[in-house]
Amino acid sequence: MPSTIPAAPQAAHTRLAWLLLATATTACNAPAPPAEPVQAPQAAVATAPPLAPSLAHAPAVAPPPAPVRDAPPPAPAPAAAPVYAPAPAAYAEPALEQPPPVVAAWAPPPMRVEVPPPQPWPDAYWIGGYWAWQRDWVWVPARWARPPRPEYAWVQPYYEHRANRVVFINGFWAPPRYAFRPPPPTLRLQIDVDLHGAVQGPPPIGPQGVFVPPPPGSRPGLIVAAPLGTPPAVVLGAPPVIAAGMRIEGSVHNRMTQVHQTSDIAQNVVHNRVTIIAPPGATSGGRAFRAEVPAAAHLAAAMARPGTAPPQPMHAQAPAPALAVAPPPPHAAPPRPAHELSLIHI
């Protein structure tokens, strides 16, 4: 016999079925939810291991800098060869008699230009500047000077080329009738030089015998052959020389004439002239040179500048006899021809 379901429970079951059907229909018609974005897998990051407890709170220390390698020092420049320079100018009171000769190890430097100012007093003598040996060549400045005693005459410095050395006698004041004695060839002298840190100059370049230093601007070491008693200032107007060959020819003398026996004494000086000669290969310009110049220091020095006219003759000066060269001592070798000239009175 078929079972019978009460009406109330049957209605409840019918409503539940319709509810389930409606829910299923709604779920089927609902839109699908958006798909979640797919992230790419991250690469594994290496992490440092945790610090030890004692280093966890230690301050950060920068790594040591890379060592800096200095560039190698530059190679030292070659040392320049020492250049000879003469000692500073100096002045010493001239002697009143002939000084002893000394031997210099190298030649005097070229001359320096010193033009004389006007004569300051009537009996003043012009002593031209020159190189003197004082264990080195020292420039003695030019000056006007009075004779230290009546009738004294100025004797020019003496230079002689002998065996690659220079025999030198300083300038001095000589009494009347004094006879200058050149060093005999047989005289043996020791070189007077201080070698403690001194830079030597070149030896004399030129012929043996008496000479004067070369003109200003010349090559150091060159010498100019000259008669005995020639003032060094005679070369001030000559061109510089770069090779040996310049020479001076002529004679040097004077004649003094006393007019009165009082202080008003006139002077009749014969300022003879000498000739300076140089071949073309000796001068710096490559030209031959020949000129006559006064054989007096003050007149020759006044011609050092081009276009400078020689000054007027000096005022009256005290007379003094010419100085003669003394004869050689007995049993001594006769002097060379370069010693045959008497000295001058400026």
Burial degree of 233 (CB within 10 A; 0-12, 13-18, 19+) = buried
> CA 230, CA 239: separation in Å to the nearest integer?
18
Q: Report the pLDDT value the prediction gives residue 26, as an integer from 0 to 100.
A: 57
> CA 109, CA 221: separation in Å to the nearest integer?
7
With residue 138 as reference, give the H or E element that holds it: strand 137-140
What is the distance between the terminal CA atoms of the chain, rounded to a whole angstrom?
A: 187
Q: Report the pLDDT value the prediction gives residue 180, as an integer from 0 to 100.
A: 87
Burial degree of 20 (CB within 10 A; 0-12, 13-18, 19+) = exposed
Question: 6: number of CA atoms within 13 Å, CB side?
Answer: 3
From the list 118, 176, 168, the residue with the least C-alpha distance to 147 is: 176
If phi > 0 it is left, if psi is from -120 to 50 it is alpha, else beta; for residue 164 that is left
Count other Cβ atoms within 10 Å, centred on residue 193. 16
Q: Between the CA of residue 71 and those of 26, 68, 74, 76, 78, what are the distances in Å?
A: 88, 9, 9, 15, 21
Q: Report the pLDDT value the prediction gives residue 298, as an integer from 0 to 100.
A: 85
CA quadruple 230, 233, 237, 242: dihedral positive or negative? Answer: positive
Q: Report the pLDDT value the prediction gives residue 215, as an integer from 0 to 100.
A: 97
Is residue 341 classed as helix, strand or coil in its secondary structure?
Answer: coil
Q: Report the pLDDT value the prediction gives residue 256, as an integer from 0 to 100.
A: 32
Name every residue whose Cβ is closer than 8 Å to that of residue 293 and which is 6 or more positions away in sequence.
234, 237, 238, 273, 274, 275, 276, 299, 300, 303
Q: Report the pLDDT value the prediction gives residue 314, as an integer from 0 to 100.
A: 36
> CA 236, CA 110: separation in Å to the nearest integer?
10
**What are the residue ranges in the chain where pLDDT is below 50?**
254-270, 306-346
